[in-house]
């Protein structure tokens, strides 16, 4: 059964689609949803146990491992466009977080650290690592935490629309969440993961300095994360690149997967080169002046 739209956590990655058997056709004039990746649960859908949770995951394609992490209140189905794109070149691993999607419920408090450690346990279970990691929203938070808590498991990381604290959310998003939670009809599962966003995460900026792998920090110019917060994250990761998607929202991986996927693919495929702000500018300026004199 679909959860009512009013109950959707503002940072959930189209979590309504996670509980529906198939996406409905987009109304005329609206952005068409991407074709979902084949849901070959009988062939690739598996479960394993970790820290009191039964966790569901799927594997697609072959090649270099790529871990995809979904957002709050959703499931790996929300990443259908990313799975369909990256499975052509990578071995894509996608798991439903505890208390969400097709993974089991737990009786204990849910935290970003627990969900991150679940991802690390999945990599251990599959005997993989280091792997490339792409996370969206809550998944972006987990991608950062995975590089902090389990650095040997991460090769490159992409973090889309992450926040380090609840205060990193845009004020409009915080107000929406608080108003939504006043509704007594919010299902217990939705309430558990939504309430988490009001008290977590609690990641100090200094912790980001422990991340040494190449990182791509992404957000949109109309995101649910404040612009300043995203820039702070970028500035505190030593080997980071920053990109802000123009005229887009928190939902760009779903709304415009071609644009999102191409940026991520370019980062993953090319060797990481740290740009020198002044030095590289002057080198290019010299080339420009030399070309102008020919």
Whether 199 is covered by a domain: the verdict is yes
* Residue 150 structural domain: 5-14+40-292
Range 195-201 contact pairs with CB under 8 angstroms and sequence separation of 24 or more: 196/72, 196/110, 196/111, 196/112, 197/9, 197/11, 197/72, 197/166, 197/169, 198/166, 198/174, 199/166, 200/111, 200/112, 200/166, 201/112, 201/141, 201/145, 201/163, 201/164, 201/165
Whether 30 is covered by a domain: the verdict is no
- What's the whole-model pTM score? 0.86
Whether 162 is covered by a domain: the verdict is yes
Q: What's CA 243's distance to the chain center, in Å?
A: 15
Digitized pLDDT (tens) for each residue of the chain, 294 residues in all: 333 333 334 344 333 333 333 333 343 343 444 444 444 443 469 999 999 999 999 999 999 999 999 999 999 999 999 999 999 999 999 999 999 999 999 999 999 999 999 999 999 999 999 999 999 999 999 999 999 999 999 999 999 999 999 999 999 999 999 999 999 999 999 999 999 999 999 999 999 999 999 999 999 999 999 999 999 999 999 999 999 999 999 999 999 999 999 999 999 999 999 999 999 999 999 999 999 998
Task: State the CATH number of the domain containing residue 82.
Answer: 3.40.50.1820
Whether 23 is covered by a domain: the verdict is no
Whether 249 is covered by a domain: the verdict is yes
């Amino acid at each position: 059964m679909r959860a009512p739209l009013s109950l959707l956590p503002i940072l959930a990655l189209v979590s309504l689609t996670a509980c529906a058997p198939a996406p409905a056709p987009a109304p005329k004039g609206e952005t068409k949803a991407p074709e979902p990746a084949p849901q070959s649960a009988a062939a690739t859908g598996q479960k394993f146990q970790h820290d009191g949770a039964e966790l569901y995951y799927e594997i697609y394609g072959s090649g270099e491992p790529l871990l995809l992490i979904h957002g709050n209140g959703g499931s790996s189905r929300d990443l259908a466009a990313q799975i369909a794109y990256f499975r052509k070149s990578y071995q894509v691993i996608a798991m439903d977080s505890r208390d969400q999607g097709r993974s089991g419920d737990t009786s204990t408090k849910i935290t970003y650290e627990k969900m991150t450690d679940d991802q690390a346990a999945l990599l251990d279970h599959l005997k993989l690592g280091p792997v490339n990691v792409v996370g969206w929203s809550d998944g972006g938070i987990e991608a950062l935490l995975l590089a902090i808590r389990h650095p040997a498991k991460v090769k490159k990381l992409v973090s889309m629309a992450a926040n380090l604290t609840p205060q990193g959310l845009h004020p409009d998003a915080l107000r929406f969440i608080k108003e939504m939670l006043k509704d007594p009809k919010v299902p217990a599962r939705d309430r558990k993961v939504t309430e988490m966003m009001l008290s977590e995460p609690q990641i100090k900026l200094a912790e980001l300095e422990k991340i040494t792998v190449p990182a791509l920090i992404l957000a949109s110019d109309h995101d649910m994360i404040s612009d300043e917060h995203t820039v702070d994250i970028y500035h505190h990761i030593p080997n980071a690149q920053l990109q802000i998607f123009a005229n887009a929202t928190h939902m760009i991986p779903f709304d415009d997967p071609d644009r999102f996927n191409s940026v991520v693919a370019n980062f993953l495929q090319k060797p990481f080169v740290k740009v020198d702000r002044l030095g590289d500018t002057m080198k290019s300026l010299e080339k420009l002046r030399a070309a102008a004199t020919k």
